[in-house]
Structure 1
Amino acid sequence: MFPTPIEKASPTARIAYKSVLPIALILWLLPLIAVAVFSIRPAEDFTNANYWGIPSSFEGFKNYGAVFFQSDMPRYMMNSVLITVPTVLGAVALSAMTGFALGVYRFNGNLLIFFMFVAGNFVPFQILMVPVRDLTLDLGLYNTKRGLILFHIAFQTGFCTLFMRNFIRQLPGELIEAARVEGVAEWRIFWYIVLPLMKPALAALAVLIFTFIWNDYFWAVVLTQGPESQPVTAGITSFNAQYRAAYHLMSAGSIVAALPPVLMFFLMQRHFIAGLTLGAVK
């Protein structure tokens, strides 16, 4: 039923695995390597069609200096921080409370409410473009960081609730029942008993949502415009001129924009892995 571990495979299979794995890794990393190399090329290499050859000169300091000091990239980065952090906090906080309510309490309509949260994940987000944009215009939230934050919280809470509800249902119910017998209020049960046990799940969910929101491009373009509210994913395109695309600056900006999610993952790696694997074995 399950694939045979590579340690127990035949010698031929192990040799083939060890030979193919580095090639697959290089192919997977090739786009990232290309972006990194593009970010240190001079603009003349693109004019001369020197895309994959050795860079004619090293312009890394110049390109990254232009990104940081001669463009609105710092402002776009700050916009992304101001959009992503409140969204992560809001979505995780709401999903922790809704997951607790749906995972602990038994009442009529529990599954129906849970289904409504889950069903939103199956709606293609592209079909929401026009109604969501019109709604932000009607509410005066178009081209504001506040509007993007509220939309992301609403859209991500469904997945987060699914994640948290299933996690909470794996917790021992005897802890909650014992607290109730002792007369502990429900909000204290959530705050002092359930929430501390949810730390691995909260960390894993925070990393996932941080990555989703930081890397979002579609809604950043649909709901915002200009450096006053656009996040960094949409701001990278500002390096394009009317008749010419500054690929070296776009590549440098992409590398800079990719650093916060990578840093977030490595800082939370231990909690992230623990949250994803908790309950995998008995």
Structure 2
Amino acid sequence: MVTATSTSPARRNHASRSPWFHVVMVPFTILWLAPILFVVLVALRNFDDIAARGLGALPASLSLDGFAGALADGRVGRALVNSAIVTVFTVVASLALASAAAYALSRFHVPLRRTILLVMLAGNLLPPQILLIPVSRITQDLGIYDTLTALVIVQVGFGLGFYTFVLHGFMRSLPGEIFEAALLDGSGPARTFWSIVLPLCRPALAALTALATTWIFNDLIWAMTVLRTEAQFPVTAALLNLQGGFSNSWNVIAAGSLVAAVPTAIVFFVFQKQFVSGLLVGSNK
């Protein structure tokens, strides 16, 4: 008599805890952490130590002079506020528009629906370098050049296609019985979207929020394209000016970079659980 055999959960867990996995992953982890640790060590050194022993030396003593210098420069604080404003308005506007567009494309008969999705996705495949001059000229013609409004509009325009494509796939996977039950209860399209679809899309929205915040907050190319006045610069552009003003003070530059990385790290840790859930959606189908 032939019996089917199956791997027990204990054996699978034992296999997943194989030491070879950690042996292989340790070098990759060290390689990934090395630049971050290097920047942290440079930020914690003082100017005299770096000037005397070079950037590659271990710190003789720890100092917070770099952080004091970066925070004392008003450009960094103002740039952080500008980046926060642009990021918040862009993320909210992008996901709101993308959610509505994805809902319409996934649940209603829209002519040329597939073509619309392909065009929106293809727009994200264009290299941004070939669009720098046209985008700059368009913002000048519209009279919004060198304003945070221009940067928000550009970021929304270039991110909307990707967000819509992702949310469309998520909404298409929602069971049709949910919408049939909502229709029987007298729920209209707007109420169904607000009360049912958006709550069910929370993992996907959280994942996109984390990704969009990182992309927008760390963007430099569009900021340098549509902004000119230093007072309007986000933190990435301000760090370039900081390098120009403190060309030899690498501890100040490194400290400013770490300060600029804090907001995106906070967003990721806040949405970490939902972010992982959003990435795993559909993995068991």
**TM-score, normalised to structure 2's length?**
0.89
Q: Unaligned 5+ residue runs, structure 2?
A: 1-11
Q: Is 1:170 matched with 2:197? A: no
Residue in 1 that maps onto 2:127: 124
Q: What is the percent sequence identity of the aligned residues?
A: 34
**Distance change >3 Å, CA 29–CA 243, structure 1 → 2:** closer
**Distance change >3 Å, CA 247–CA 277, structure 1 → 2:** same
More off after superposition, 39-48 vs 84-93:
39-48
After superposition, give the CA deviation of every residue in 1:76-135 in whole Å (9 maximum; x if it has no partner). 100000000000000100010000011111232111111121111111111110100111
**Aligned mates of 2:30, 2:243 — CA distance in 1:** 29
Deviation, structure 1 residue 75: 0.5
What is the 5 A alignment of 1:11-22? Answer: 16-22=20-26
Residue in 2 that maps onto 1:100: 103
Which of 44, 48, 67 is the matching residue for 1:44? 48
Residue in 2 that maps onto 1:75: 78
Alpha carbons 1:42, 1:56 under 8 Å: kept: no
Residue in 1 that maps onto 2:31: 27
Alpha carbons 2:104, 2:110 under 8 Å: kept: no
Which of 209, 212, 216 is the matching residue for 1:206? 209
Deviation, structure 1 residue 63: 1.4
Which of 234, 244, 255 is the matching residue for 1:241? 244
User: Which residue type is aligned with residue 42 of structure 1?
Assistant: N
Q: Unaligned 5+ residue runs, structure 1?
A: none
**Aligned mates of 1:216, 1:156 — CA distance in 2:** 12
The root-mean-square deviation of aligned C-alpha atoms, in Å, is 2.1
Q: Is 1:87 matched with 2:90? A: yes
Alpha carbons 2:246, 2:253 under 8 Å: kept: no
**Aligned mates of 2:275, 2:245 — CA distance in 1:** 43
Residue in 1 that maps onto 2:5: none
Deviation, structure 1 residue 15: 5.3
**Aligned mates of 2:245, 2:92 — CA distance in 1:** 39
Q: Is 1:63 matched with 2:66? A: yes
Residue in 2 that maps onto 1:252: 255
**Aligned mates of 2:246, 2:158 — CA distance in 1:** 37
User: Which residue type is aligned with residue 53 of structure 1?
Assistant: A
SS in 1 for 2:133: helix
**Alignment: residue pair count:** 274
Alpha carbons 1:236, 1:250 under 8 Å: kept: yes
User: Which residue type is aligned with residue 167 of structure 1?
Assistant: F
User: Which residue type is aligned with residue 272 of structure 1?
Assistant: F
Alpha carbons 1:38, 1:251 under 8 Å: kept: yes
Deviation, structure 1 residue 53: 1.3
Alpha carbons 1:75, 1:227 under 8 Å: kept: no
User: Which residue type is aligned with residue 80 of structure 1?
Assistant: S
Residue in 2 that maps onto 1:220: 223
